C-alpha cells in the first residue's frame, strides 16, 4: 500500500538499490513542496532503467490511491521528469496504459487537473524534445499529436458560443477594442446627445471593420467561430497593441472599397484556423502530425492568430484588393498558412519568417511552377495545342489592349508642389495613329470626346516606351519612396530626343 500523499516514496521504490554515498552513482538531494521531506535524484543512467519497476509501482499504487491523491501523484511525477525526456515518455506511456486498462477511471480526474497536465507537459516538451538532437519516435510523435489536438479542443466551447448582444460584459470587450484603437475613453452617459454618441460609435465600428456598424455584437452570433474570434481580437489588441493600432488606422485611411476590414477579417480568419487545426475533432489513432511551435507558448493559438492577421493585411495590400476580392484574399492566405505549416517550423518566430517569404508574388510563382510541372501540361498533345493556339491568343490580347487605349483613361495631374487636384485625359484614336490628350478640371464620369482633347501625339513619332524607374523624371526626382508614386503606375512615351509624355 502506497499513500498517494507521499509521491517521494513511490519514486524512491522505483530507484535501483544503491546508497546515496555510492561513488559509482552520485545522487543529488532536492525537496518537493507538499511531500514533507527531501528526495534523492539519481543520475540519468539509473533513471533510464526504471521503466519496468516504475510501471509496476504505478499500477500497484493506482489500485489503492484515492482520487485527489492519484492526481497529485501523477502531476508531481511529471514535474520530477522535467529534466529527463526519455523518462517522461516512459511515465506518459505508463499513465496511458493505466487508464486504457481501466485500472483508474478517466472520470476521477477533475477539470482543473486536466488543464494542469498540458501546461506541465508543454514545459517539459519545450525543454526536452524541441531542444533534443534525437529524432522523435513514432510513439512519442503520436502522443504529442494527441496532446496538440486535445489542447486545441479546449477552444471548442468558445468557438461554439454565440455572443449575447444583451450581455454587458461581452459588449465591454468591443468597447475595449474601440478604446485601444482610437485612444478614447468611455464617455459618460450625460456627454452629448444620444444620437451624437450613436453616430460616433457607428463611425468607429465601421473603421474597425465590423459588418454591422450599429451593433457589432451581431457579427459574433455566427458559429463557428463565435466568441473565439472576439477573444482573439482582444488578445491581439492587448498583447500586440502597436500592430493592432497600425492595421486599424491604416485601413480606415484608405478608400472604402480598398480597406481590409479588421473585424470581418478576424472572424473569417479564426474560422479558417479552426478548420486548419481541426478544432473539435477527435484525434486519429494513427496520425503523428504535430507542430512543434504550438508547444513553445502558453497561448499558442492566440499568437498563431496574431501572426496570421498581420499576414492577411500584408497580402491584402500586395493584391491591391477591394471588398469584392475578400474571398480571393482569404484563399491566398489559407494557401500561405498551409505551405508554411508543411515546413514544420520549430517556433512561432520561424513561422513568421517563412510566411514573410511566402508573399503573394511568390505564391503566384509557385502556382505557375506547379502547373507547368504537372505531367498533363508537359505531354506532347498539350505542347502541340499550346503552340497552335498561342498566335491567336496573343492577337486577342493585343486587340484587348488596343481597345482599352481607344477607350482612354483619366490621370491625376501632379504639379510642382506635388498637388493632385487636377486631371488630364488620354486616349488613342480609332485608327490607332494618334494619341489625344488634354487637361480636365474634374474627373470625368465617362469617355471624353476626341474633339475636347486639344493636344495630339502621333504614334509614328514615338521612339520608345519606358516604365517605372527607367522614366527620366524618376531618375531626376530621386527615390520612389520620397515621391510616394507607385512604380506600376508610371509610363512614358518618348517621342523625341528631349521631349516625353508622362502618364501617371
Q: 461 and 386 in one domain?
A: no
* CA distance linking residue 473 with residue 136, whole number of Å: 60
Task: Characterise 478 by phi-psi region: left (phi > 0), alpha (psi -120 to 50), beta (else).
Answer: left
What dihedral angle (degrees, nearest 10) is formed by the CA atoms of 182, 183, 189, 194?
-20
**CB of 76 within 8 A of CB of 7?**
yes
Q: 37 and 60 in one domain?
A: yes
How many domains, in total, are found in the chain?
A: 4
**Residues sharing a CB contact under 8 Å with residue 345, sequence separation 6 or more, in sequence order:** 291, 292, 293, 351, 353, 354
Q: 227 and 116 in one domain?
A: no
**Range of weakest confidence among 79-83, 255-259, 283-287, 311-315:** 79-83
Q: 417 and 479 in one domain?
A: yes
Residue 282 belongs to some domain of the structure = yes
Q: 54 and 185 in one domain?
A: no
Instruction: Note down the domain range covering 412.
Output: 407-503
Which among 344, 368, 392 is the end of a domain? 368
Q: 382 and 329 in one domain?
A: no
Q: In this predicted structure, what is the pLDDT of residue 24?
A: 38
Q: 40 and 58 in one domain?
A: yes
Q: 25 and 108 in one domain?
A: yes
Q: 263 and 252 in one domain?
A: yes
Three-state secondary structure call for residue 464? strand
pLDDT tens per residue, range 323-380:
899 999 999 999 999 999 999 998 999 999 999 999 999 999 999 888 877 766 677 8
**Taking CA 372 as the corner, what is the angle to CA 368 and CA 376, rounded to the nearest 5 degrees?**
135
Q: In this predicted structure, what is the pLDDT of residue 139?
A: 84
pLDDT tens per residue, range 82-99:
444 555 555 566 666 666
**Residues sharing a CB contact under 8 Å with residue 52, sequence separation 6 or more, in sequence order:** none
Model pTM score? 0.60
Q: 454 and 347 in one domain?
A: no
Residue 141 belongs to some domain of the structure = no
**CB of 44 within 8 A of CB of 72?**
no
* CA distance linking residue 150 with residue 96, whole number of Å: 14
Helix (H) or strand (E) holding 494: strand 491-494
Q: 490 and 462 in one domain?
A: yes
Check residues 286 and 6 and name the one with the higher pLDDT: 286
Count CB atoms within 10 A of the CB of residue 427.
22
Residue 477 has pLDDT above 50, yes or no: yes
Residue 143 belongs to some domain of the structure = no
CATH number of the domain that residue 437 is part of: 2.30.29.30
Q: 219 and 93 in one domain?
A: no
Residue 150 belongs to some domain of the structure = no
- Count CA atoms closer than 13 A to 214's CA, side-chain side: 1
Query: How far is residue 1 CA from its own chain's centroid?
Result: 52
Amino acid at each position: 500500500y502506497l499513500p498517494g500523499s507521499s509521491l517521494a516514496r513511490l519514486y524512491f521504490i522505483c530507484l535501483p538499490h544503491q546508497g546515496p554515498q555510492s561513488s559509482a552513482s552520485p545522487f543529488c538531494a532536492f525537496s518537493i513542496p507538499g511531500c514533507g521531506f527531501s528526495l534523492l535524484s539519481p543520475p540519468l543512467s539509473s533513471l533510464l532503467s526504471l521503466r519496468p519497476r516504475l510501471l509496476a509501482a504505478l499500477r500497484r499504487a493506482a489500485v489503492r490511491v484515492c482520487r485527489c491523491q492519484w492526481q497529485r501523484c501523477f502531476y508531481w511525477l511529471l514535474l520530477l521528469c522535467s529534466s529527463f525526456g526519455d523518462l517522461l515518455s516512459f511515465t506518459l506511456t505508463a499513465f496511458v496504459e493505466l487508464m486504457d486498462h481501466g485500472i483508474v477511471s478517466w472520470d476521477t480526474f477533475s477539470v482543473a487537473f486536466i488543464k494542469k497536465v498540458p501546461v506541465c507537459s508543454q514545459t517539459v516538451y519545450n525543454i526536452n524534445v524541441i531542444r533534443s538532437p534525437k529524432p522523435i519516435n513514432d510513439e512519442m510523435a503520436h502522443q504529442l499529436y494527441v496532446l496538440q489536438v486535445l489542447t486545441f479542443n479546449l477552444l471548442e466551447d468558445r468557438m461554439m458560443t454565440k455572443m449575447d448582444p444583451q450581455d454587458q460584459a461581452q459588449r465591454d470587450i468591443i468597447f475595449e477594442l474601440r478604446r485601444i484603437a482610437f485612444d478614447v475613453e468611455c464617455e459618460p452617459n450625460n456627454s452629448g446627445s444620444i444620437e451624437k454618441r450613436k453616430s460616433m460609435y457607428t463611425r468607429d465600428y465601421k473603421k474597425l471593420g465590423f459588418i454591422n456598424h450599429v451593433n457589432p455584437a451581431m457579427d459574433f452570433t455566427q458559429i463557428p467561430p463565435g466568441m473565439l474570434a472576439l477573444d482573439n481580437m482582444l488578445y491581439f489588441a492587448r498583447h500586440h497593441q502597436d500592430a493592432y493600432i497600425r492595421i486599424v488606422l491604416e485601413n480606415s485611411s484608405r478608400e472604402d472599397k480598398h480597406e481590409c476590414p479588421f473585424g470581418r477579417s478576424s472572424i473569417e480568419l479564426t474560422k479558417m484556423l479552426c478548420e486548419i487545426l481541426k478544432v473539435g475533432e477527435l484525434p486519429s489513432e494513427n496520425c503523428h502530425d504535430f507542430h512543434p511551435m504550438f508547444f513553445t507558448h502558453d497561448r499558442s493559438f492566440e499568437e498563431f492568430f496574431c501572426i496570421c492577421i498581420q499576414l492577411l493585411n500584408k497580402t491584402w495590400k500586395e493584391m491591391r484588393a477591394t471588398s469584392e476580392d475578400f474571398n480571393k484574399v482569404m484563399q491566398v492566405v489559407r494557401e500561405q498558412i498551409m505551405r508554411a505549416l508543411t515546413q514544420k517550423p520549430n517556433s512561432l518566430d520561424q513561422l513568421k519568417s517563412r510566411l514573410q517569404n511566402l508573399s503573394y508574388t511568390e505564391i503566384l510563382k509557385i502556382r505557375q511552377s506547379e502547373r507547368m510541372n504537372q505531367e498533363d501540361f508537359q505531354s506532347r498533345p498539350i505542347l502541340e495545342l499550346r503552340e497552335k493556339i498561342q498566335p491567336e491568343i496573343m492577337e486577342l490580347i493585343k486587340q484587348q489592349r488596343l481597345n482599352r487605349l481607344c477607350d482612354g483613361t483619366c490621370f491625376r495631374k501632379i504639379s510642382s508642389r506635388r498637388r493632385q487636384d487636377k486631371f488630364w485625359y488620354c486616349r488613342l484614336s480609332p485608327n490607332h495613329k494618334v494619341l489625344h490628350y488634354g487637361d480636365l478640371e474634374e474627373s470625368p464620369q465617362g469617355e471624353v470626346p476626341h474633339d475636347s482633347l486639344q493636344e495630339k501625339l502621333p504614334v509614328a513619332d514615338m521612339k520608345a516606351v519606358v516604365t517605372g524607374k527607367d522614366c527620366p523624371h524618376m531618375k531626376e526626382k530621386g527615390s520612389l519612396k520620397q515621391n510616394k508614386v507607385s512604380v506600376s503606375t508610371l509610363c512614358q512615351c518618348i517621342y523625341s530626343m528631349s521631349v516625353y509624355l508622362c502618364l501617371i
